[in-house]
Structure 1
Amino acid sequence: MLTFDLALGASTGGLNTGDIIFQLVIFLILLALLKKYALGPVMNMMKQREEHIANEIANSEERNKEAQKLVEEQRDLLKQARLEAQSLVENAKKLGDQQKEEIIQAARAEAGRLKDGALQEIEREKEQAVAALREQVASLSVLIASKVIEKELNEQEQEKLINDYINEVGEGR
């Protein structure tokens, strides 16, 4: 019946304020219940979701900054490693050149020492040869003198005798 009265009242053009107030009260109660049981938890869930997304964005930005920092550190370390490698190569080249020079100088010194030793050996051999020659000349002179004394020779025989002995000494070498 109430629906019939509402329809009749609406058709007659009159406003039923009691029904309007009743519907308004029911609407407000329904709105309060929705707010308490549906809208509150949904809003809390939305707020939590918003906070979670904000935290994830902040964490992501922080990780991005850390990654950028690490990339810069890696670049710096790479540059430093390249400089150290270049320095090591240069030091190795310098050390190699220095060792090369030392080896060359040592070889030259050894060659000079060997040359000096050879020259000294040659000089000793020469002195020994001269000494031996002097001894031979002295003994030949004594021999010639003894033979000359044994025989008196004329000038031609004396020359022949000297030439014979010189030839003998020449063949003896």
Structure 2
Amino acid sequence: MNVLWENIVITMISFAILYWLLSKYAFGKLFAIMEQRRELVRNQLEEAKQTREQATVYVEEQKEALKQARQDAFEIIEQSRQSSSKQAKDILDQAKNDTNRMKNEAIRDIEIERMKAIEALRGEIGAYSVNIASKLIEREVESNPAEQEKLVDQYLNEVGNKS
């Protein structure tokens, strides 16, 4: 194999001219485009990182909001439970008070009616007693005046003791 030195020199000069032309007209633009592409990729990666961080923060905020909403719902349910329990207790207490009041009124009404009945019976008994006494007195007056005085005194003593 023969190596031709002239071909090697011509190839090197051609390569040097080609390199110089490429560096003057193509490499600058090519490197600028590659740099822009690298910046674009870096910016997109940065934006993706920020978006991921924002999404993480948003998810955490949503978790916290959901936790707070559950807590609020639990508190509302608990307040409702306590309120209904208190209302039921108040209603029962009111019913007991009303029952006691009605019972006391009924007892008082019964006592008033009993007293009226006793008074009515006393009046009737008194009338009958007077009637019987007057009949007895008539018989006794006709038969024994001393016995009559004894009966009147006895009756007056009994009536005086009851009053």
Which residue matches 2:137? Answer: 149
Which residue matches 2:45? Answer: 57
| TM-score, length basis structure 1 | 0.72
1:110-121 matched pairs, under 5 angstroms: 110-121=98-109
Which residue matches 2:122? Answer: 134
Instruction: Point out the more displaced range, 141-150 or 106-115.
Output: 141-150
CA distance in 2, matches of 1:115, 1:16: 137
- Say yes or no: does 1:76 pair with 2:64: yes
Instruction: Point out the more displaced range, 92-101 or 118-127.
Output: 92-101
2:30 is matched by which residue type in structure 1?
V
CA distance in 1, matches of 2:77, 2:56: 31
Cα RMSD over matched residues? 2.5
1:43 is matched by which residue type in structure 2?
F
Which one of the candidate residues 30, 40, 62 is aligned to 1:42?
30
Shift of 1:45: 0.7
CA distance in 1, matches of 2:135, 2:4: 190
CA distance in 2, matches of 1:15, 1:65: 64
- Say yes or no: does 1:20 pair with 2:29: no
| Greater relative contact order structure (CA < 8 Å, 6+ sep) | 1
Q: Output one character per residue of 1:82-103: Cα deviation in whole Å (capped at 9) or x when no partner.
A: 1121122112111111111111
CA distance in 2, matches of 1:125, 1:68: 84
Q: Per the alignment, do residues 41 and 145 of structure 1 end up closer, same or farther by CA in structure 2, a change over 3 Å counting? A: same
Larger radius of gyration: 1
* Structure 2, unpaired ranges of 5+: 144-163
| TM-score, length basis structure 2 | 0.76
Q: Output one character per residue of 1:73-118: Cα deviation in whole Å (capped at 9) or x when no partner.
A: 1111111211121122112111111111111111101100000000
Query: Once the two structures are aligned, what percentage of the paired residues are identical?
Result: 35
CA distance in 2, matches of 1:109, 1:42: 98
1:139 is matched by which residue type in structure 2?
A
Aligned residues: 141
